Amino acid sequence: MTLENVLLVSAALFAIGIYGAVSRRSVISVIMSLELMFNAVIIAAVGFARFTPAAALLSGDPLTAEAVRSALTGHAFAIFVAAVAAGEAALAFALVFAMYRSKETVEITEASELRN
């Protein structure tokens, strides 16, 4: 497995997510597509962290706290993106439930009428 393969998988997932977000009419499908795009970003971040180690790790010097911290930045970014995605999904599904209660549909075209 190389960085190119990881980025290819990530780009494919992101492209599928964009297609799903643009082509679907159901709000739930759009939310799922956004989550797929978040997961593609997480895969890319962890792939970069795995295959491009920090310069401090390559120097051969003893590991310091700074070297370990810089080596784990991709993983920390991935955890942050996953937490944001979970919050976004919870908020989005709450909005979907509110939309369904008021309009009895989850079509995106009906969302503009929720201003009333």
- pLDDT for 10 beyond 90: yes
Alpha helices, DSSP H, located in 1-116: 3-23, 27-51, 55-58, 65-71, 73-103
pLDDT digits (tens, 9 = 90+) for 77-114: 888 888 888 888 888 888 888 888 887 877 777 766 65
pLDDT of amino acid 12: 97
- pLDDT for 115 beyond 70: no
CATH number at residue 105: 1.10.287.3510
DSSP state of 61: S
pLDDT digits (tens, 9 = 90+) for 46-79: 888 888 766 556 666 666 666 666 667 777 888 8
C-alpha closest to that of 43 among 1, 84, 14, 83? 14
What does each C-alpha distance from 69 to 45, 55, 74, 92 come to in angstroms?
Answer: 15, 12, 10, 33
When divided into structural domains, the chain yields a total of: 1
- Could you list the residue range(s) of the whole structural domain that residue 29 is in? 3-115
How far apart are the C-alpha atoms of 83 and 5, rounded to whole Å?
A: 26
